[in-house]
A and B are shown apart, each in its own frame.
Chain A
Amino acid sequence: EAQVTQNPRYLITVTGKKLTVTCSQNMNHEYMSWYRQDPGLGLRQIYYSMNVEVTDKGDVPEGYKVSRKEKRNFPLILESPSPNQTSLYFCASNSIRVRDTEAFFGQGTRLTVV
């Protein structure tokens, strides 16, 4: 079954404690990205990657890091989380070889930073 898997689904942490949200896809997609969703602001792209070892900033990259060492994995790293990073996070992947490609999303990670 084609899927994007994020972990954890829910996380409460304290300010400044480094955390990683994992994302894995089994569709051999080249393109992966991270979004955050906040009320009234919709989905905003944090970082994206067009292939292994190729990453770039999205619209709201401050306070986040990513890596793409393998094609299937695209972890999101918060080195020093702050309360304004409390949000719902989605990882997504899609092929760049197919026209009008569908993006597949993970189930989301609800992060609370206190």
Chain B
Amino acid sequence: RKEVEQDPGPFNVPEGATVAFNCTYSNSASQSFFWYRQDCRKEPKLLMSVYSSGNEDGRFTAQLNRASQYISLLIRDSKLSDSATYLCVVNFKAAGNKLTFGGGTRVLVKP
């Protein structure tokens, strides 16, 4: 089983709609969680950290469920510019601050 798993998609989303997707992780001792965005073959960039209480940044909402070992990302009012691959990232600090990446979820927002 992969340490961090994501549905690869693509999620085809009409402009203005809401899309949500999850990421599961296998290591219960994982300590930090992030969503990164990656545009086609460019470098990943931090979208948002994920906190235990859940957090929101504009149209983006991230949730963490430690009991079920998953994190989620919800995008409201999707824009064409939201089309990208969203990478779930888990940091297990006891493993030397190593970031473990999911395979990414591809989102395509269409007019």
Contacts and interface: CB of A to CB of B under 8 A. Distances in A.
Interface in B2-55: 8, 32, 34, 41-46, 49
A106 interface: yes
A43 B44 contact: yes
Contacts of B101: 35, 42-44
B99 A33 contact: yes
A102 B41 contact: no
Contacts of A105: 43-45
Contacts of B32: 99-100
A39 B42 CA distance: 13
Contact of A40 (B49, B99, B103): B103
B98 to A, nearest CB: 6
Interface in A40-55: 40-45, 48, 50
Interface residues of B, number: 21
Contacts, number: 53
A24 to B, nearest CB: 15
A74 interface: no
A77 B96 CA distance: 22
A38 to B, nearest CB: 10
B104 A42 contact: yes
Interface in B51-77: none
Interface of A: 31, 33, 35, 40-45, 48, 50, 56, 58, 88, 90, 92, 94, 96, 99-100, 102-103, 105-108, 110
In the A-B complex, the 8 residue pairs with the closest CB atoms: A42-B103, A105-B43, A43-B101, A102-B46, A100-B49, A96-B97, A100-B32, A31-B97
